[in-house]
Amino acid sequence: MAASPYLPTERFARWRKAKSTAVTCVLVLCALAVIAPLFLVIYFLIVHGSSSIDINFFTQLPKPTGEDGGGMANAIVGTMELLAMASIVGVPLGVLGGIYLAEYGSDKANDWLRFAADVLNGVPSIVWGMVVYLMLVVPFKTFSAYAGGVALGLMMVPLVMRTTEEVLILVPQSYREAALALGVARWKVIMVIVVRTALKGIATGVIVALARIAGETAPLLFTALGNNFWNHNLKEPIAALPLQIFAYAISPYDDWHRQAWAGALVLMALILALNITVRILSRDRTHNH
Amino acid sequence: MSTLPEAPSARASSDPIRVATTPNSAATAGLPVENEEVAFDIRNFSLWYGQRQALVDVTIKIPARKVTAIIGPSGCGKSTFLRALNRMHELTPGTRLEGSLRHFGSDLYGPGVEAVSIRRRVGMVFQKSNPFPTMSIAENVLVGLRLNGVRDKAVLQERLEKSLHMAALWDEVKDHLNRPGTSLSGGQQQRLCIARSLAVQPETLLMDEPCSALDPLATAKIEELIQTLRQEYTVVIVTHNMQQAARCSDRTAFFYMGKLIEFGNTRNMFTNPGNPQTEAYVSGRFG
Amino acid sequence: MPGPGSRAPDIAFKWVAALAASMIIVLIVLVGWQLYAGSRMSLSKFGPSFLWSSEWDPVQDKYGALPFIFGTLVSSLLALLIAVPLGVATAIFLTELAPQKLRQPIVMAIEMLAAVPSVIFGLWGIFVLIPWLRDHLFVWLRHYFGFLPLFQGPIYGVSMLAAGIVVAIMILPIITSISREILRSVPNLQREAAYALGATRWEVLKIAVLSYARRGLFGAAVLGLGRALGETMAVTMVIGNRPQISASLFAPGYTLASVIANEFTEATSDLYLNSLFELGLVLMGVAIMVNIAAQVMLKSMTGSGPIKVN
Ligand SMILES: Nc1ncnc2c1ncn2[C@@H]1O[C@H](COP(=O)(O)OP(=O)(O)OP(=O)(O)O)[C@@H](O)[C@H]1O
Ligand SMILES: [Mg+2]
């Protein structure tokens, strides 16, 4: 067979190969550029944060403007309280909604609900702050821990709903049929058999949602507001780590900057701990099945 | 299925005119002979997927400008063998091979040999048709040439027509070459993929069960096409269809559990197999 | 099967669950309604001219959204310009090139990047990124590209470009992970078809992978845009918060979200607060529309296969 007249020249083949190699190098560099910020953020968090953290940070209240020392004890506790309140609002709504999607809804309605949940997920977090401000701050004429908790809780709803649905669908149909065949009422089957089976998955979803909202600042700005003292009444403003970090970071005082880094390190550790819990929970889940 | 298909198998391979026009195949009617041109010269070839050995010590000489059919039960390593012939198996991570594979005398796995240049010379058609969905029919056919730097409009047009003619698709698509390749029927898409492989003028065409997803009519078209291809190209075709192997191949290789059990003239393999396993398989008494 | 006695709790439970699920719809309506209600005064006072008036003067009680819309769009588009190529390239690296052993650690690192809260990026931006940008990158850019109006004028550090970079970092994880899902949905047969023609790796990417996936990748970018538009804290901390429209990327700017974050609790007059609500309405309208567009694009790309959009 005659040599094909269209055979690429040696040079052209080399050029193609070089181009491919160049692209490969660019891709590797891009991947490095994407993970670099993570290490830069973590590095500076550890360097600045760990040198600023001390026992006072965990035990004391913030000092008045410009005075050195003090800590964020109230903000740490405040964040925990806010997360607890958010769970009280977000978990029942999200889990029940997820149950509806997985166990009852028609395909078409579910498509719309899922779509709506994804849309809701895309609502900017600052908007939640404004909405809850009108709902709970204006009528009661005060910023409050409640308002902050509700704002965070509403943000959790679509997240928890979607993950609950996903894990409930994974529960084998035969479990439901077996229980129904025994004459157990449907709602009992769902709560006792289905939800119980998927409990770990649901818990994982809730923790994922908590990890997501734990660092939210914007929705708290005009709801929880922040507080330099202990909160003794949930109808009053409450401190939160992200709020405190924000306030200190934009302040002009070096000592507050130091504390902002310490707060950021603690917040990041909290979020990492939640994420690691998720990882452990879901690892168990994949092992069991 | 125990009686053998006879008449069709003689259709093309014994065509006196064709034998006369291809000098190297003067002895086609008989058994493989020593001096016929060899497309693939493969010796002691073994291949592993990780720990698992898929091909065991295969030694075979696949003749040039003939159709060689590869048959054997599912999982025996037919696809693996075929994909090693143009180094497609390298896309599967963790494969390893031993032995020597030569294509028209040059070592496929020699130092400095690029898989890219081998694949240009050894084309491949897959079980499932896979035209590029974002390209038109014409672009699909010409993409290989464009990659190789052919820009000349006249050359492209000529190759487009020639490839589509060879793939017996020209008449069906000539009026809408700009429609997406995926707008065609399954059988047409498969022929489009064949045209795409032919456009770069490979020396050899590998086909992995090219008809298994097609209806009998489309299958007949592709078989016809294989008959025309054998004048210029070396074709290696994997098939599960014994009649197809008997109808359109000159040589047949029977694989079983990663080993080449028997290789010979197709007519002999089907009428008078030398190995009891081959006999059992071709007569449908297998497994 | 359940007797008549057990019907009532069954029905009640179903209704409670349905009510919870319908909260999703209720919330969307609620958010829209509250923002509308909160901005009624400024809506009627300024009408549509609110959108293109560039005056923002609380002292005179005059409000216009243009500088904030400009700042939001420019910082988000800058972020996309940086994050889309990087994110898609990383996704390609992860699906097509990276050795199996490297993939999981890189994916985990990207997930961790997604977990870093906005306020921490802001803190890092103020004390690490901005000094570096001010002293190195910006100086370099002005030196070599100063002939472009984009890179002229005084360098403060806090700037539109700094905001773009920080937001880019924040949307990289979602763009990367969605792009990765998209690329993984490209059938292997497409790649094999290209390889079998003798294509090099780059050519396979170009003709088989990227062209097949381009619509989905576009969807990933649009989703990233939706996220970028609403970014609040980090942007507030690095953009400089000045309601101006400047051609220079070194100049400070202001976004819809950050003006709300900064001025909401200080809004002294009702009209002021109403105007801030109207900014929120604009922000949410745009963000939701962009989000819906992205969802639709991604859905049509992957058929029924669910893509996690978290
Ligand atoms: N990617 C892979 N990884 C591991 N083992 C593989 C892989 N591909 C194939 N194998 C194994 O190699 C052997 C040969 O497979 P191959 O696909 O070549 O069979 P085949 O003869 O083409 O079968 P079929 O007729 O079903 O297409 C099989 O046992 C299969 O399990
Ligand atoms: Mg096969």
Contact criterion met (CB < 8 Å) for C197 and B91: no
Per-residue pLDDT band for A289 (boundaries 50, 70, 90) equals very low
Is C310 part of any domain?
no
Would you state the pLDDT for residue B110? 85
Residue B166 pLDDT exceeds 80: yes
The closest of C128, C135, C126, C132 to C158, measured between CA atoms, is C126
Asked whether residue A185 is domain-assigned, the answer is: yes
Number of domains within chain A: 1
Question: In this complex, do B119 and C212 lie within 8 Å of one another by their Cβ atoms?
Answer: no
CATH number of the domain within which A151 lies: 1.10.3720.10
* Residue C2, in any domain of the structure: no
The CA-based dihedral angle spanning residues B52, B58, B64, B70, taken in that order and rounded to the nearest 10 degrees: -60
Question: Which of C187, C200, C207 is nearest residue B143 as measured by Cβ atoms?
Answer: C207
- pLDDT > 70: what percent of chain B? 87
Per the domain annotation, does C309 fall within a domain?
A: no
Phi first, then psi, for residue B69 (nearest 5°) are -95, 140
Mean pLDDT of chain A: 90
Cβ B114–A1 below 8 Å, yes or no? no
Q: Which two tokens stand for residue A56?
A: 């006072």
- Using CB atoms, which residue from B114, B148, B232 is nearest to A6? B148
A254-288 and A241-249 helices, crossing angle to 10°:
150
What is the model's pLDDT at position C199?
Answer: 93
| CB proximity C180 to A under 8 Å | no
Query: Please, is C66 exposed, middle or buried when counting C-beta atoms within 10 Å of its C-beta (0-12, 13-18, 19+)?
Result: middle
pLDDT at A76: 95
Is C281 inside any structural domain?
Answer: yes
Q: Which fold has domain B36-282?
A: Rossmann fold (3.40.50)
- Please state the φ and ψ torsions of residue B53, each to the nearest 5 degrees: -85, 125
Ligand 1, atom 16: closest residue by C-alpha: B77
Residues B204-222: what's their mean pLDDT?
89
Residues in C lying within 8 Å of B, measured between beta carbons:
100, 187, 189-200, 203, 207-208, 211-212, 214
User: Does C5 fall in a domain?
Assistant: no
Answer yes or no: is C308 within a domain: no
Q: Supply the residue whose CA is at minimum distance from atom 2 of ligand 1.
A: B49
Q: What is the DSSP string of C62-109?
A: EE--HHHHHHHHHHHHHHHHHHHHHHHHHHHIIIIIS-HHHHHHHHHH
Most confident range (mean pLDDT) of A107-111, A232-236, C281-285 is C281-285
In a domain? residue A257: no
Whether A197 maps to a domain, the answer reads yes
The CATH number for C244's domain is: 1.10.3720.10
Residue B108 has pLDDT above 80, yes or no: yes
Ordered per-residue pLDDT tens for chain C, 310 residues: 444 455 788 899 999 999 999 999 999 999 999 999 999 999 999 999 999 999 999 999 999 999 999 999 999 999 999 999 999 999 999 999 999 899 999 999 999 999 999 999 999 999 999 999 999 999 999 999 999 999 999 999 999 999 999 999 999 999 999 999 999 999 999 999 999 999 999 999 999 999 999 999 999 999 999 999 999 999 999 999 999 999 999 999 999 999 999 999 999 899 999 999 999 999 999 999 999 999 998 887 654 444 444 4
Greatest Cα pair distance, chain A, in angstroms, is: 92
pLDDT digits (tens, 9 = 90+) for C212-237: 999 999 999 999 999 999 999 999 99
At residue C302, the pLDDT reads 58
Phi, psi of B100 (to 5 degrees): -120, 135
Q: For the residues B141-156, what does the mean pLDDT come to?
A: 91
Q: What is the pLDDT of residues B26-79, one digit of tens each?
A: 333 334 556 788 999 999 999 999 999 999 999 999 999 999 999 999 999 999
Please indicate, yes or no, if residue A68 is contained in any of the structural domains: no
- DSSP state for residue A61 in the 8-state scheme: P
- pLDDT of A3 higher than 70: no
- Whole domain around residue C176: which residue ranges? 10-303
Residue in B147, B159, B232 closest to A1 by CB: B232
Q: How many domains does chain C have?
A: 1
| Strand order from edge to edge, sheet including B52-63 | B52-63, B38-49, B95-103, B106-107
Q: What is the mean pLDDT of residues B4-10?
A: 38
Q: Looking at residue A222, what is its pLDDT?
A: 92
Residue A3 forms part of a structural domain: no
Q: Which domain holds residue A195?
A: 77-241
Asked if A285 and A201 count as a contact pair (C-beta separation under 8 A), the reply is yes
Structure tokens at C143: 């030196």
Residues on chain B touching C195 (C-beta within 8 angstroms)? 88, 91, 115, 119
B145 touches chain A (CB under 8 A): yes
> Where do the domains of chain B lie?
36-282
Tell the residue nearest (CA) to atom 14 of ligand 1. B77
Residue B240 near residue B71, CB atoms below 8 Å = yes
Question: C5 to chain A nearest CA, in Å?
Answer: 10
Amino acid at A119: V
pLDDT level of residue B10 (50, 70, 90 thresholds): very low
Separation of first and last alpha carbons in chain C: 41
Residue nearest to atom 3 of ligand 1 (CA): B49
How much is the pLDDT for B33? 55
Q: Give, to the nearest 10 degrees, the angle between helix C270-302 and helix C160-184.
A: 30
Residue C310's pLDDT is 42
Min Cα distance A74 → chain C (Å) is 18
Gap from A99 CA to chain C (nearest CA, Å) = 7
